[in-house]
Structure 1
Amino acid sequence: MIDKSAIRIRPYTEADRDQVLETLFLGFTTVGDRIFQKTVRHRTTALSILAKSLTYTLVLELLLVTLSAVNNSTTRTGKGAGGVLEDFRTLQEALMEPTTIQGMVGQFLKPSFILLGAGITVLVTLATVYSIYSSNQKDTQIYFQGCLEEDLGDIVAYYQKDVSPVEKQDKDKTGNRSATTPKKNRSQFWVACLESHPQLVLGCISLDDVAAHAESLLSKHIKQGSPASTFEQPSEFDAELRRLSVHPNYRRLGVAKLLMQTLKDSAKKQGFKRVILSTTIHQSEALVGYIRFGFERERLVKFTEFFTLWYGQLKLNATAKEIEEQKDNQALYLKEVGLLN
């Protein structure tokens, strides 16, 4: 059993990269699995899947019975099956014959068709659930790949260089800085480790100086299909909490709380007035931790039936009254996202 007092928080180093990426990837995968579990277990979603499956089943059964009825009709008229499918008038006559309709009903009620319908329903349901799971896993992979192309591509450059990497590109060929004033990068990236094993990464967290990375955020905004005119320039008093993840083997030891406290203390020391974050409501454990740590909900944004983002903020200079109000609203925030009955 790991003693909580033996856990230490230190700055990230290049030697931590593989462990950090593994921890983050496991965190993303776990969230993805939970989204799938929540999806298939949610009452309205389960009913939706079943309703679609039954609809597809009835359509397939109707098609089979119709073809059977048409075939019976053509047998009496002496036409071949191929000729009937090409003759829509014959198909219409076959469907309008009372005896044929009765035959269709009789065929539909036959045990063989009932078993066929049940089989089709099961297959369609399994196919629907599998498609949701596959889509979820694919989205997780795409998201993680996007992270590798952003800040996780070079953690040291993005979070630990004194000047934003984007601003460094503003130097001209002679090495002199351009007219653009370089923005000091106050971002940081920490890892949790054991005092006795400082090389072992238990978890990680980052503080993103969004003002220093405004150009990167604008580029991302445009890549997502939004016009540059709708981009809101980040405030120099805002920092964003990102990349909080604890390795599954070291959870429930208070690692996340220590990481968040480190981030909060550093943000205040560097002059930030607010820490913002965005997370999905499916990251239930993390969301509970954020809310109980003092984050309050700014807004909820629902993108799809299965994907809702929770935007929160932590006021670093909150008054005693504001802190009490946030504590009073914690139950409300949790209830809004279904984490409290």
Structure 2
Amino acid sequence: MNVDWFDFELPEQLIAQTPLAQRTASRLMAVERGTGNISSGRFTDLAQYLQPGDLLVLNDTKVLPARLLGIKPDTGARVELLLLKQLEHDRWETLAKPAKRLKLGARIAFGEREDGQPLLTAVVEQEGEMGARIVRFEYEGIFTELLDRLGEMPLPPYIHERLEDKDRYQTVYARAQGSAAAPTAGLHFTEPFLQELQRKGVQLAYLTLHVGLGTFRPMSTERIEDHVMHSEYYELDEANARLIQETKRGGGRIVAVGTTSCRTLETVAGRFADGQIKACSGWTDIFIYPGYEFKLVDALVTNFHLPKSTLVMLVSALAGRELVMQAYSKAVEEQYRFFSFGDAMFIY
């Protein structure tokens, strides 16, 4: 299957650079798989499509302010580190820019204490490809507090505007700190809207998948089958596993909020051959593209994704490539806002 099958013309001005003033003010395109019907409305119309007994599954990961701007004390050169994955203790997998300045043993200083010493220091312990560096941090105090003080939100590379409010790149239910990027389909929800859905009889379940920046990396292969997905950590606890199991057995729909929730649900479903859904955790590199048979997910709330991305392929696996390409063509024509701060799609 060729990657070019998932290409489409996307005017750059349709990539949303800033969030709307109100989370629920975005537009919603509803795509009905059975009929091929495509309709446009507001995000709050989602309440009309969800039914009592449906289960909305949300990813409660919290984005780390993982973009650190520092200097090399020996040369004064400016360096950027992007934290990707904590390995053990104070060692992290990072993405460095410019990486050529960071050889083995190089030190990067961030912030300054009253005595003139850095608040945080990174020491390069291992060099990798495409700017990857394993670093060990040295500091006094609590690392996460220093990160909150020194770090910036790691916005995707196609967003060029500065984010004034860090909270707008977090979901309102974010809890488990560890992501390098937000599960952006969840950014549309507010506490009052979630409560409205619950009053209607829609249940909520939570899981965790810490999103890696690999989700933004373009595919480097021509054939989809040759692409190797990045690996991300996930967790599902016993109470939420039980809720998912009971909903499925009771005939309710499992509605994944975002491709991260979708990938986690399908990973969990694939772990247990007997069809049971149980508490579990681990790493997933599941790649969902057309031809995949969904085991748990019945419907999906998602944003509009970039051409030839693995996310477009996942959506096409659920709704069919032709219908998704038709919906995306309509979205471009009607000037929907794309990607992280953009509008939403509901596939059911």
Greater strand share, structure number: 2
Q: Normalising to structure 2: TM-score of the pair?
A: 0.25
Greater helix share, structure number: 1
Structure with greater Cα Rg: 1
Taking CA–CA contacts closer than 8 Å with sequence separation of 6 or more, which of the two structures ends up with the larger relative contact order? Answer: 2
